[in-house]
Amino acid sequence: MNTTAQYAARAADALARCGVDNLAADGSLVVTTPIDGTELVRLHPTSATELDAAITNAAETFAGWRATPAPVRGALVRRLGELLTEHKSDLAELVTLEVGKIPSEALGEVQEMIDVCDFALGLSRQLYGRTMPSERPGHRLMETWHPLGVVGVISAFNFPVAVWSWNTAIALVCGDPVVWKPSEVTPLTALACDALLRRAAAEVGAPEGLHHVLLGDAAVGEALVDDPRIALLSATGSIRMGRIVGPRVAARFGRCLLELGGNNGAIVTPSADLDLTVRAVVFAAAGTAGQRCTTLRRLIVHSSLADDLTGRIATAFSGLRIGNPFDEGVLVGPLISDHSYEAMRAALDRADDDGGILVTGGERVDGPDGGVYVSPALVRMPDQTDVVREETFAPILYVLTYDDFDDAVALHNGVPQGLSSSIFTLDQREAERFLAQSDCGIANVNIGTSGAEIGGAFGGEKETGGGRESGSDSWKTYMRRATNTVNYSDELPLAQGVEFG
Ligand code: UN1
């Protein structure tokens, strides 16, 4: 049997293995596990003075780190990746304890961190600028990329470590120190990451001040938002948060990278491989208990398939084992809080008022006392009503139907968010039309909306905020670009043929 004391002890053991062993136990920041709501530890939040000192230290460290060659900076990230590999199961254990993810998903999250370290290490030798032909003889025109400054990272509870690593591994090779405000409910994973990064820095001779964790509530985040020493603020969270953060950072001409809510849809066309579709839909909609920003929330199904597909998904949903994520065979762990279930209930009530029909799920189910366990809900909707157009951070999958492909795409794009999207089809024309017309940052064919690899740029359009993190050329957001013109002639021709004197 898992008991309360065991969870606290397991957390303390995993933290100690990661190098965190001097935890204060009497602070005002109470850390609990969503598995049964019990307390893991009480931490001290970062004070205003400590916060200021951390940013000052990061800003001072920038001066030296920016001048360190990028491949040397890469050596830090290489070592971090090795330590993450060594402590993969410790970090995953902490993710399960703090977030309630099943171990396979928690391990997958840590694997994302290892992968992005590999990516960033390679990148440290590939921060390419371009050269362009100059219109003037004896001149070279080129662009070069330079470290930007201190990066502030605000991350959410649901991917407590992967999102940090996407930002931090890239920021570090780009020459930028990081100050990190993790979600208030996931400080332990943050302390573990910080300890591993500090150890990596000590081992490769990188400066200590490259990384700081700031624990606390929204006030800590606000301090990062308003501090002119934070050159880039990368914030993952709700659209409501983004509406506050974006304009405030812009008002001080800071740079912002926003990764906000998603309301991800998938279209299922008549030619779809339905067995594959059902498996993909079930993972995308019910995995992580519906608490990914990439979770599938809307299924837009050709009317000829709707009854069959809805029935198959309902059967699969009913067969999912829900409960303590540490128990063998469990695929759906707890919601993060009571509030999440209240939001889920409120959404289901609104869907009902709008004429929706609950096919299955949406109920509290047995699990350890003190945790919030729910069965994933499947709801057929007559229309894409307001509640369907909002993101509810819980496992609810709305099913809508279409007859005409253009209408399906219009329905798909008819929400304010634009993160991830999919089509299930064996018809190449439909697939290509969807890829061209989906207005999301991520558009997939014959896989679900969640579970993106780190090699691509991650992020979305519209109210999702427009930011891109992780792979591809997302690194450019973490650097500043300079355009350079070098005259290696002894003449001084002016551009555009201007004569002056
Ligand atoms: C998130 O939910 O904030 O694509 C990130 C995915 C994961 C990351 C999700 N690789 O589902």
The whole-angstrom separation of Cα 273 and Cα 451 is 20
With cut-offs at 50, 70 and 90, classify the pLDDT of residue 1. Answer: very low
Q: Tens digit of pLDDT for each residue in 210-257? A: 999 999 999 999 999 999 999 999 999 999 999 999 999 999 999 999
Q: Tens digit of pLDDT for each residue in 171-185? A: 999 999 999 999 999
Residue 487 lies in a domain: no
| Average pLDDT rounded to a whole number, residues 420-426 | 98
| Ligand 1 pocket, residue 292 CB under 6 Å | yes
The set of residues, in sequence order, having a beta carbon less than 8 Å from that of 6 and lying 6+ positions away, is none
Give yes or no for a contact between 116 and 172, defined as CB atoms under 8 angstroms apart.
Answer: no
| Atom number in ligand 1 closest to CA 294 | 11
Our answer to whether residue 259 is catalytic in this structure is: yes
Ligand 1 pocket test: which of 109, 155, 159, 422 has the largest number of ligand atoms within 8 Å of its C-beta?
Answer: 159
N- to C-terminal Cα separation, the chain: 89
Is residue 321 located within the same domain as residue 237? no
- What is the model's pTM? 0.97
Give yes or no for a contact between 473 and 457, defined as CB atoms under 8 angstroms apart.
Answer: yes
Q: With a cut of 70, say whether residue 3 has pLDDT above it.
A: no
Q: With a cut of 70, say whether residue 2 has pLDDT above it.
A: no
With cut-offs at 50, 70 and 90, classify the pLDDT of residue 10. Answer: very high
Give yes or no for a contact between 444 and 268, defined as CB atoms under 8 angstroms apart.
Answer: no
Residue 427 lies in a domain: yes
Structure token pair of residue 30? 């109470």
What is the sign, positive or negative, of the torsion defined by CA atoms of 230, 236, 240, 246? Answer: positive
The CATH number assigned to the domain holding 160 equals 3.40.605.10
Is residue 150 located within the same domain as residue 273? no
The CA dihedral of 30, 257, 88, 334, to the nearest 10 degrees, is 50
The CATH number assigned to the domain holding 411 equals 3.40.309.10
Is residue 148 located within the same domain as residue 245? yes
Count Cα neighbours of 313 within 13 Å in the Cβ-side half-sphere.
35
| Atom number in ligand 1 closest to CA 453 | 10
pLDDT > 90: what percent of the chain? 98
Provide DSSP, 126-164.
-----EE--SSTTEEEEEEEEE--EEEEE--SSSTTHHH
Which pLDDT score is estimated for 4?
61
The whole-angstrom separation of Cα 338 and Cα 322 is 16
Is residue 366 located within the same domain as residue 278? yes
Is residue 471 located within the same domain as residue 407? no
Q: Are strands 396-402 and 457-458 parallel, antiparallel or unpaired?
A: unpaired
Provide DSSP, 207-269.
-GGGEEE--SSHHHHHHHHH-TTEEEEEEES-HHHHHHHHHHHHHTT-EEEEE----EEEEE-
Which pLDDT score is estimated for 277?
98
Ligand 1 pocket test: which of 292, 417, 454 has the largest number of ligand atoms within 8 Å of its C-beta?
Answer: 292
Strand partners, 145: 481
Q: Which of 259, 430, 463, 469 is catalytic?
A: 259
37-64 burial code (b ≥16 CB/10 A, e <16): bbebbebebbeeeebeebbebbbebbee
Is residue 246 located within the same domain as residue 395? no
Ligand 1 pocket test: which of 165, 294, 440 has the largest number of ligand atoms within 8 Å of its C-beta?
Answer: 294
Burial label for 382, CB within 10 Å (0-12, 13-18, 19+), is: exposed
| Average pLDDT rounded to a whole number, residues 71-95 | 98
Q: Which of 117, 174, 193, 293 is catalytic?
A: 293
Is residue 174 located within the same domain as residue 28? yes
Is residue 398 located within the same domain as residue 272? yes
With cut-offs at 50, 70 and 90, classify the pLDDT of residue 21. Answer: confident
| Ligand 1 pocket, residue 94 CB under 6 Å | no
| Average pLDDT rounded to a whole number, residues 54-62 | 98
- Residue minimizing CA distance to atom 1 of ligand 1: 293
The domain tally of the chain equals 2
| Ligand 1 pocket, residue 452 CB under 6 Å | yes
Tell me the Cα Rg of the chain: 24
Mean pLDDT computed over every residue of the chain: 97
* 264-268: strand order across its sheet: 357-360, 377-380, 396-402, 296-302, 264-268, 420-424, 442-445
Which pLDDT score is estimated for 212?
98
Residue 14 lies in a domain: yes
The set of residues, in sequence order, having a beta carbon less than 8 Å from that of 417 and lying 6+ positions away, is 239, 260, 261, 262, 263, 264, 391, 460, 462, 463, 464
The whole-angstrom separation of Cα 399 and Cα 309 is 10
Which domain does 297 fall in, by range? 264-445
| Ligand 1 pocket, residue 159 CB under 6 Å | yes
Residue 488 lies in a domain: no
**CA 467 to centroid of ligand 1, rounded, Å:** 14
Our answer to whether residue 342 is catalytic in this structure is: no
Is residue 282 located within the same domain as residue 379? yes
Residue 420, CA distances (Å) to 37, 159, 300 in order: 32, 16, 14
Is residue 471 located within the same domain as residue 358? no
Residue 146 lies in a domain: yes
Is residue 242 located within the same domain as residue 270? no
Closest CA to 419 of 470, 347, 468: 468
| Average pLDDT rounded to a whole number, residues 291-303 | 98
Residue 302 lies in a domain: yes
**CA 403 to centroid of ligand 1, rounded, Å:** 31
| Atom number in ligand 1 closest to CA 420 | 4
Is residue 343 located within the same domain as residue 477? no
| Average pLDDT rounded to a whole number, residues 381-390 | 98
Strand partners, 397: 378
Which backbone phi and psi does 356 adopt, to 5 degrees? -70, 155
User: What ipTM does this complex have?
Assistant: 0.98
Q: Tens digit of pLDDT for each residue in 85-132? A: 999 999 999 999 999 999 999 999 999 999 999 999 999 999 999 999
Give yes or no for a contact between 257 and 236, defined as CB atoms under 8 angstroms apart.
Answer: no
Structure token pair of residue 12? 């303390």
- Tokens 């065979």 correspond to what residue? 329
**CA 485 to centroid of ligand 1, rounded, Å:** 41
Q: With a cut of 80, say whether residue 22 has pLDDT above it.
A: no
Residue 452 lies in a domain: no
With cut-offs at 50, 70 and 90, classify the pLDDT of residue 26. Answer: confident
Structure token pair of residue 422? 């999919």
